[in-house]
């Protein structure tokens, strides 16, 4: 990551890979980077039309869409190679992609469904992020310019997710992964951080927010609302900045004081 401003004081353009960027928080993050003049690779898994809509709507030019199933370890190296070929390198990785399976509380969930939920969630939310970070970090090291990795975790990693325990565990693992990598990658000037959002106004939770649970969810925060995707994106932008090097290893709560610890 080139921390030296270009002539005239203009920050250098960064090459940014955002996973799960075809909508919601990921799309907001992609837009925030593009608004700063960065070039963005919009990753998607199964929604090419939505991903392309996001790409077309980004400010600036030079953005691309890239597809990969992050649950497949074999898909990771070609994904990184594709981004490097398109953007010329990777300066920032945002591990945002995540899956949320149907509820699977330990009591009342059939064992085959329990096994499936854990397999599917961990494959993307934790193992996919770990495998991708391994490959991107190697690319950053070969570039010799440092970099930033920002993980999008969850409040659920801290307070628990009794209806979705695999999701909560995957995000707790993602936070821990970030802290381990922050130590391991610091000698290469790669800073690794995580954010832990609470409820965010996205399509994924729109049904719950508009239904009977909506006010109960909003009242969890003393602000009596949930976050906007842009608020999460603003925090990611800071953590990916050169000014945030010393935040490496941090997990930033973004839950509107709905859960304090």
Residue 47 designated active-site: no
CA 230 to chain centre: 13
Residue 154 designated active-site: yes
| Catalytic position from the list 22, 44, 45, 154 | 154
| Catalytic position from the list 167, 170, 248, 258 | 167
| Catalytic position from the list 171, 194, 241, 258 | 171
Distance, CA of 40 to CA of 253 (rounded, Å): 25
Residue 167 designated active-site: yes
Give the catalytic positions in this structure.
154, 167, 171
């Amino acid at each position: 990551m080139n921390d030296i401003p270009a002539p005239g004081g203009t920050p250098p353009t960064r090459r940014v890979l955002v996973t799960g960027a075809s909508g919601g928080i990921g799309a907001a993050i992609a837009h925030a980077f593009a608004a700063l003049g960065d070039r963005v690779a919009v990753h998607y898994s199964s929604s090419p039309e939505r991903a392309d809509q996001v790409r077309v709507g980004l400010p600036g030019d030079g953005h691309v869409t890239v597809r990969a199933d992050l649950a497949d370890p074999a898909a990771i190296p070609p994904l990184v190679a594709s981004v490097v070929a398109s953007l010329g390198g990777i300066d920032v990785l945002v591990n945002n992609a995540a899956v949320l399976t149907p509820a699977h509380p330990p009591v009342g969930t059939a064992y085959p469904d329990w096994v499936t939920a854990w397999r599917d969630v961990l494959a993307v939310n934790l193992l996919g992020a770990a495998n991708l970070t391994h490959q991107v970090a190697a690319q950053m090291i070969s570039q010799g310019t440092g970099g930033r990795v920002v993980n999008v975790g969850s409040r659920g990693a801290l307070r628990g997710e009794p209806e979705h325990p695999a999701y909560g565990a995957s995000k707790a693992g993602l936070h821990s992964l970030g802290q381990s990598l922050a130590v391991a990658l610091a000698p290469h000037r790669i800073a690794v951080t995580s954010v832990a959002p609470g409820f965010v106004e996205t399509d994924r939770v729109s049904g719950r927010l508009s239904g009977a649970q909506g006010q109960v969810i909003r009242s969890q925060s003393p602000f009596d609302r949930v976050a906007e995707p842009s608020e999460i994106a603003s925090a990611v932008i800071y953590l990916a900045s050169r000014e945030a090097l010393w935040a490496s290893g941090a997990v930033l709560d973004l839950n509107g004081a709905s859960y304090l610890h």
